[in-house]
Structure 1
């Protein structure tokens, strides 16, 4: 039910802070009096995903690596766990993407900015084994491109800053943020758009064509107009006919307008949220309503 994003220079101590935070949160969850929703704490990191520092040497390898991080993060997000994302997270656009993924499933979020001077990061990097160290040029490039988190933007807030000289993390404040902080509902920009069925276009065309033929035939045998029943599959819909004969060209015009409107919804994914209603019966009912509004009496 919470996502904590760790951000900072490479080799600034992010993993150390993630470990400290994980131990603190696990202790809070295991307390005898705790009755909240959290059941586990998970750390998603470059190390846990087997990503070497060399993936940051160029954009060709870095972009797929970020994709791997994001995909695995999404798999871990749930309403009963705390997920700590321990990676560089140095691009504000990526932090916003992470924020949107969490907000979509109504998770509380916060960001921890791990601060250490660039000179100290370079020193610590030189003490690492070769296979775990960043190259000098990569480290300098990442530090130069780093986009610092800001408490003024919603995807970084609430923001907690931890200095290299601090002995521990502000566990109590972080715990309060992820348990009682503001829980913002997802907005239109973060909600998943419902997708239409793969055969929706075929069903749309077939259903409207069938109805057009049946309405023209019914109008010819019922020139006085009135309600007539149309059977489409297992659905029975009522269509109000005008007191005259409806022509084929007139029905084709109305059908083209109706199909154009709904084809756009299908192809662009702008269908109704929460469920897709492009079944044969529902299309028939909608088309009957459209006919009633657009056929001249």
Structure 2
């Protein structure tokens, strides 16, 4: 069913609010409630957020988990920083595609209070002060005037959650209508699927074969296109297959009558995803 996105500084009480929401929904609704969070055994959040690539991977994993769980029946609560407005927009596009409502709960704290709460945690769960300060500086506060940040519920540390208002926002509102970028369209022809499958598979095989004699920085020529795959790093087959599946899903929603463009589009997609 709906998605509830938590947002706030590190150590601002998001997990506590997520737990309160989970208890409330479980007591007041027959729907299942899933909390998707970044916590886990052995996860050093300070190290993750100190490295841009590790942070990007974490955001991607969280988004993928939300995408797997969100549907028209269950409630999903995303417990993470969610401090980048572009990432919140991606989540908004996701719920538009699923055609389910969402809302944002913003846990308001001062940087000083977040730092104090961070210091009170077990050493293994703390952010370094440098990482915490950097995240506070990078934080992009939600704005209810943005459709991806609305409805917005801002709560202070001592505030009680507005359970009724949040419930109304996700149960009594219509889902945002899908647009061209999120709504599935009919495939243009039966031959399109065959071309899509064969061409993307050929590109993958060309990349895998080229990697045997290439080094990072090389450009790989693939059949059927003047575009080249930029090998910025080593890419295993599992990752390539995942990207191929994502591209095929996207292409089914945006079919092209020009089969000759599929190779170009797939190579461009690979380059964008791998950089």
- Same structural fold, with TM-score higher than 0.5 when normalized by the shorter chain: yes
Work out the CA distance in 1 between the residues paired with 2:198 and 2:87.
38
| Alignment partner of 1:89 out of 82, 89, 93 | 82
Tell me: CA distance 1:24–1:264, structure 2 relative to 1, closer, same or farther (3 Å): same
Write the mapping of 1:19-30 to structure 2, written as runs, cut at 5 A: 19-30=19-30
Work out the CA distance in 2 between the residues paired with 1:100 and 1:106.
10
| Alignment partner of 2:103 out of 110, 120, 128 | 110
Write the mapping of 1:181-220 to structure 2, written as runs, cut at 5 A: 181-191=173-183, 196-199=192-195
Other structure's SS at 1:161 match: strand
Work out the CA distance in 2 between the residues paired with 1:86 and 1:200.
37
Q: RMSD across aligned C-alpha pairs, in angstroms?
A: 2.4
Residue 60 of structure 1 is matched in structure 2 by 53
Work out the CA distance in 2 between the residues paired with 1:155 and 1:4.
12
Q: TM (normalized to structure 1)? A: 0.64
Residue 227 of structure 1 is matched in structure 2 by none
Provide the aligned length of Structure 1 versus Structure 2: 204
Deviation string, structure 1 residues 67-91 (Cα, Å, up to 9, x no partner): 1111111111111101000000000
Deviation string, structure 1 residues 105-141 (Cα, Å, up to 9, x no partner): 1010100000011101000101111111101100000
Work out the CA distance in 1 between the residues paired with 2:41 and 2:97.
24
1:5·1:86 contact (CA, 8 Å) conserved in 2?
A: yes
| Alignment partner of 1:75 out of 42, 53, 68 | 68
Residue 171 of structure 1 is matched in structure 2 by 163
Aligned: 1:144 with 2:137: yes
Other structure's SS at 1:197 match: helix
Q: Which has the larger radius of gyration?
A: 1
Aligned: 1:135 with 2:131: no
Other structure's SS at 1:262 match: coil
Residue 12 of structure 1 is matched in structure 2 by 12
Deviation string, structure 1 residues 149-206 (Cα, Å, up to 9, x no partner): 110000010000110121x211000000111113222111223577742446989xxx
Work out the CA distance in 1 between the residues paired with 2:2 and 2:196.
37
1:201·1:263 contact (CA, 8 Å) conserved in 2?
A: no
Work out the CA distance in 1 between the residues paired with 2:197 and 2:11.
53
Work out the CA distance in 2 between the residues paired with 1:71 and 1:192.
19
2:7·2:83 contact (CA, 8 Å) conserved in 1?
A: yes
Work out the CA distance in 2 between the residues paired with 1:262 and 1:155.
34
Q: What 5-or-longer segments of structure 1 have no aligned partner?
A: 31-38, 204-259, 270-297
Work out the CA distance in 1 between the residues paired with 2:264 and 2:43.
36
Other structure's SS at 1:110 match: strand
2:100·2:174 contact (CA, 8 Å) conserved in 1?
A: no
Shift of 1:47: 1.1
Other structure's SS at 1:139 match: helix
Aligned: 1:262 with 2:255: no
Shift of 1:261: 5.2
Work out the CA distance in 2 between the residues paired with 1:41 and 1:114.
20
1:51·1:65 contact (CA, 8 Å) conserved in 2?
A: no
Q: What 5-or-longer segments of structure 2 have no aligned partner?
A: 200-255, 266-275
> After alignment, is 177-186 or 84-93 more displaced?
177-186
Residue 208 of structure 1 is matched in structure 2 by none
Work out the CA distance in 1 between the residues paired with 2:121 and 2:157.
17
Aligned: 1:122 with 2:115: yes
Work out the CA distance in 2 between the residues paired with 1:75 and 1:112.
21
Work out the CA distance in 2 between the residues paired with 1:49 and 1:82.
24
